[in-house]
Structure 1
Amino acid sequence: MYRQETPKTGGRSRGRRRYQVCWRGHRLRGTTMLLIPLIVLVSACSGGKSQGASTDVLVVVSAPMSTEPWIGTFIERGARLAIEELNAHGGVTTPSGARRVKLAVLDNAGSPAKAAANARKAVDDHAAVLLTDGTGAASVASVTDPAHLPVFICFEGGEALIDPSRWPSLFRMAPANKPMARRLADYIANSHPKVGVISDDSTYGEQGRDALLQAFKIDEVEVVADQKAPARSSDLTTQVLAARQAGADRLVVWASASDVIAAIQAVHALGWKVPIYTGPTGEDPLVRRRLAEHPDWLDQVTFASFRMTSEVGPKPFEQFRANYEAKMGVDLVGVQQDGKQVVQPPDWPMFSYDAVHLIAASLSEGGELGKPLMEALNKVSITGANGDYRGYGPNQHEGVNPSDMYFARFHGFVFEPVADDPLSDTLPSVNQLQD
């Protein structure tokens, strides 16, 4: 259930309806009108059904379940948790009645063609929303735009993927490449580095590379090597050696988790002591599992991502994490440190979780799927799992604030916010060892 808040008069919340996820004890402060959806809910539970329409709200996940399982799994699990919460409290309340929510998971295998086919199925099945990693976003939009089916990109950060005037159905609920790349360039610029860049041939790698090169140019960071590799490579010795021979003293790898692993292995095979920086795939548990026998190799790896906790403090994320792990289980990385199992905190599942709750709030506001839901998405906002604001406008389809990017460095198999970056240094450590 959602608690409607009085719209604030300043900032991005002006003129918008804001909702807060509020499960515990059904706390509804001063909101007599919200009893109406509860009455509708009782009616629906006793067998009432809209004529000519299913009472189910369908959430479709299209993700690389087979090729990038960490990405696919966190999108699915975040969505599943949100759906379980909604259904435990009667589903989504709408002006026409209460509707339960169901989940369908489709594997796009990292293929734009499969992603487009999955989008067509979602449209044919009258889905309320499509959650995806971002594979084949342009092809997907060609299917979902005419159907007014909102699509939430929950991983890829390419700048070209989000353009409300061109692709109005695409929304991003994940950090964008541009602010991550700009923060990385700012972070290393003062040391006047010579950078070697390695990217892969996926859209994630190609668009990440573009953002990096633009950011490095702005900050006058010298790029001495710009190497490309196939996605999910097993050997990057050639690319790493080229960067070393070019005089690089920093290595930036924006590629799949497999490529990150291959780059780290090549660096150590060559005996090269060079700091390695990655994008979000550096956090993929696969990296640590593949390097299980060499935890010290990760000590020189730093990745850029979004901060898990918000300005209001760590409590909202801690509550979300406790709920997630109680219902979905603890996400074990598959390695041990200090005699304990290493746990992957549920940071990325927050995006699909927030997307489902935002859809539920917007459906309660708009009442119907398709165009009314799309219009409501540009008016409604929620407080997300970690306490951050989540909402969009007609000309703004980015869901993560650019100022929320941080850096983390590995200490063995556990990562911590770095201490030499102003934002990162203010963030609390998040426990990653199972008690």
Structure 2
Amino acid sequence: MLKRSMVLLLVLILTTSLVAACTTGNTEGNVKPSNGNDPAEELQVPEKAEVTFSTIFSDEEFEEIIGSYVKKKFPNYTINHISNRGLSLEQLVATQTKFDIYFARAAAFLNAYEPMKMTFDMTELAEKHGINLDSFAPGFIESATFDGKLYGLPIFNDSLVLYYNRDLFDKFAVPYPRDGMTWEETLELAHQFDRNENGTQYMGLWISPKHYFRMNSLSQGFVDPETNKVTVDNDNWKRILNIFAELSRDSGVREMARVNFPSHDHFRGKNSVTAMYVFLTEWIAVSRDQMPLNWDMVSMPVFKDLPGKGTQPYANYAGITSISENKDAAMEILKYLTSEEYQMEVSKKGKISPLKSQKVKDVAFENHPDQDKNFGAVYVNENAPMRQLHPLEDHIVDLMNDKVNELVTGKKDINTILREVQEMGQQVIDQEMVKSK
């Protein structure tokens, strides 16, 4: 009797063990249960999923800097890509195309994706998947948060640096620029190039207007989001426009601008006539062949009273769409793309990381082919605070950009330009506000 009872007990133990083993295994074949280390015990990450990206990159660029890494990290995921260069957001929405992750600048959350009802508050999902928002440098998360809703995570950042053509500096025996220069010092250096030699007009400095306006170091916005009033007719915008007035004070430069307004083409290529150019750091990674053969860079000039204060964040954010049916899988991908593991790899190639991580900064540009460049210039300045964004601010940016032509060519002064932008811009904003009602 005792022996029979022992046998029955043994069978009961074995049966219980088998049931436990089955219930703790993968019951559906595509979901991993929580391992107890996740911030939310209910977290279940699909082992297999189809995730579609919509980005600003070409298919080739996407594969090189994102797709190949994600596919290696998540071999069971099917990764698709839609390039915005071929299909606009409006076309995607009109055709009811499903996509899970999109890339955009912070302003696009308000002026593009929110009006299309494509944004999704990622706050709870980020917490659920253990995203450490404190790992990002100051300003990045704040720039993607609207009314307490987190619309995106920063993947890459672009800042502004001062590129220069060593050959032109050598030609005219002018000392190279250095990190940490003020605008006053930079303009004084630039004016040494303002000359006409054998019919060729040279200029010392040009700045990409739209980019500097959006990223300006004084954190000046364009439209007050509370009142919908244009906010450019003030002393800080006068300081910003004064840089453009000063860099074109030479009569030869003004005359050249009337015939052929300064642009990328004046700096890049073998026929460069501009010694220095303030532009995005993305050039380092993707446009080396368009720059002068003998180029280098230093940190973007700063205002004298704001030493070390660079530009506002200008990140490429990744957001999860409201229509995504694979939000957990998408967030796991974003968790990887914002990890030190991934950021270190693309940092080596020349992508600027939004992370605080010193490890990521220490390996920056390690695999870049031009090891003679001053890559440290990228991290000399700290981010300026983000301006107040407004969904209609691009109308004012466009007006400001158009008016720079009149300033640089000497047709109008700064006060007149700002007054006109204020007045004309307000009319546009008022009209757009009426349309949106």
TM-score, normalised relative to structure 2: 0.39
User: More strand by proportion, 1 or 2?
Assistant: 1
Please tell me whether Structure 1 or Structure 2 has the larger radius of gyration of its CA atoms: 2
